[in-house]
Amino acid sequence: MKKLVLFILFVVTSSLFAKAQYTDLFDFSGKDGINPAGSLIYDGKFLYGISYGGANNDGVIFRVKPDGTGDTNLHNFDSLDGMTPLGTLFSDGSYIYGVTQRGGIKENGVIFRIKPDGTDDTVLHYFDSINGRWPEYEALISDGTYLYGTTWYGGKHGEGITFRIKPDGTAYSDIHDFDSTDGKQPQGALYYDGTYLYGMSLLGGSHNYGVIFRMKPDGTGDTNLLDFNGTNGLDSHGGPLISDGKYLYGMTLHGGTGNWGVIFRIKPDGTGDTVLHNFNYTDGQAAYGSVLLYGSYLYGMTTAGGTSNSGVLFRIKTDGTNDTVLHNFVVASGTIPCGSLILVNNALYGLTQDEGAHSDGVIFKYVDSSIINNVNELPVTANEVRVYPNPSDGIFNYELGIKNYPNVSRWDELGTIEVYNLLGERLCQHSFSAPRFTLDLKGQPTGIYFYRITSEKGNFVANGKLIIE
């Protein structure tokens, strides 16, 4: 009996401690990087990021294992090949790509690529005032042919541009020049849905508070979907916009009822603009990054506000309800969280710009039972889908359990499956006409992905997670 009581106490205690846990995994210091200003990426084995500091004090590219060990500087920038890296890296499985805000031949920033082991570092493009300058909080995205991004300044009007370039550094093109009407000083990564590129600008538009814009991959069809007016947000930093297939979600630094910033959603055609949440300082203030969509919740961070005015980690449902502060950042374990969260093995990972053991920022991990229990918790019909093997090397077999659903007596319609990465970018879309089919994702790097299945007549809708290893 005594052993049984002890066992029960152990289980209960363990459950309580496992419910929520914040861990300072790694403390930046000097040559291994300081004050990171962006987000992490994950390739199935390592976390990668960029920061200030390094051997030349011009910035570094680093990698570290998800348990905080194995920290390595893959590259120390030296001004000529870039300096002041801001934002997030992008991986295509063979190379890691990124930008620096300054440095290079013209001292206006560069586009670079490097292999995951730190070799073959190459400058793909040097920015100048004509073809763009100073990419800000940038993360490149890909449509499979080109890499796309924006710069804060430069171009014909000096207000920033949208550019594209092939992964080998050829075919660089300024595809759009911003002006005060259609937005100026675009910041952060773009989002691509297979038809349009979407993004946000810091300023410009009818109120000069910034805009949400979209354009085709060749730069044509530029449209302002929304002009921020203060009430619905202003000063958008970081990004990118995140999609659930119906809405685009994002945050702004300021605006809203208390001018503490907002979380919003909007349809891809510009309708349905809604402020989901007005930050109130207690639950956060000044969001620089984007939200992470996982199940029916959005997860994110603010750089200020909370109990210590050092930022918070929060979650909120996609309809704006159930706003919850999961963690208040404090000096001992990192303050001023920056960029966006990523999800690795049911845990959230992120960066802070300041404090920690050496006051230079940290890499942190946050585990919460709500995250683990939120798998596939989406506001759709809970249809049965069998996916195997999962994890896999990129080949996934699907079986749809249509026999259990009265509205689907036999499969006599077209179905569509879409796959998204952790940034909310749609990577592919395929059609199928039978309840059993195979999905080939061998061209994608290792990591976590999400799928969404819909049928032509709307009888079958399902969502889930895929792991490539």
DSSP string, 308-330: TTS-EEEEEETTS---EEEEE--
Tokens of 445: 């790097």
Could you tell me which of 35, 52, 26, 48 has the C-alpha nearest to residue 114? Answer: 48
Domain boundaries, the chain: 20-372, 385-468
- Cα 359–Cα 362–Cα 365 angle in degrees, nearest 5: 150
Beta-carbon contacts of residue 89 (< 8 Å; ≥ 6 apart): 38, 41, 48, 49, 50, 61, 96, 97, 98, 139
Please determine whether the domains at 20-372 and 385-468 fall in the same fold group of CATH.
no
Neighbours of 325 (CB within 10 A): 16
pLDDT bin (cut points 50, 70, 90) of residue 457 is low
Q: Which CATH number describes the domain made up of 385-468?
A: 2.60.40.1930
Peptide bond just before 391 cis, omega within 30 deg = yes
Tens of pLDDT, residue by residue over 32-85, are 899 998 899 988 889 999 999 999 999 999 999 999 999 999 999 998 999 988
Q: What is the pLDDT of residue 353?
A: 94
For residue 181, how many C-alpha atoms fall within 13 Å in the half-sphere facing its CB? Answer: 3
Q: What is the pLDDT of residue 374?
A: 57
**At residue 4, what are phi and psi to the nearest 5 degrees?**
-65, -45
Task: State the Cα–Cα distance between residues 146 and 171, nearest whole angstrom.
Answer: 9
Superfamily for the 20-372 domain: TolB, C-terminal domain (2.120.10.30)
Q: What is the pLDDT of residue 245?
A: 78
Tens of pLDDT, residue by residue over 185-205, are 898 889 988 889 999 999 999
Could you tell me which of 55, 62, 106 has the C-alpha nearest to residue 82? Answer: 106
pLDDT: which is higher, 299 or 370? 299
Tens of pLDDT, residue by residue over 137-172, are 778 998 889 999 999 898 899 999 999 999 999 999
pLDDT bin (cut points 50, 70, 90) of residue 9 is very low
Tens of pLDDT, residue by residue over 259-271, are 999 999 999 999 9
Could you tell me which of 163, 120, 159 has the C-alpha nearest to residue 140? Answer: 163
Q: What is the pLDDT of residue 372?
A: 58
Tokens of 131: 């073809």
pTM of the full predicted structure? 0.79
pLDDT over 70 percentage in the chain: 88
Task: State the Cα–Cα distance between residues 239 and 452, nearest whole angstrom.
Answer: 23
Residue 225 region by backbone torsions, left for phi larger than 0, else alpha for psi between -120 and 50, else beta: alpha
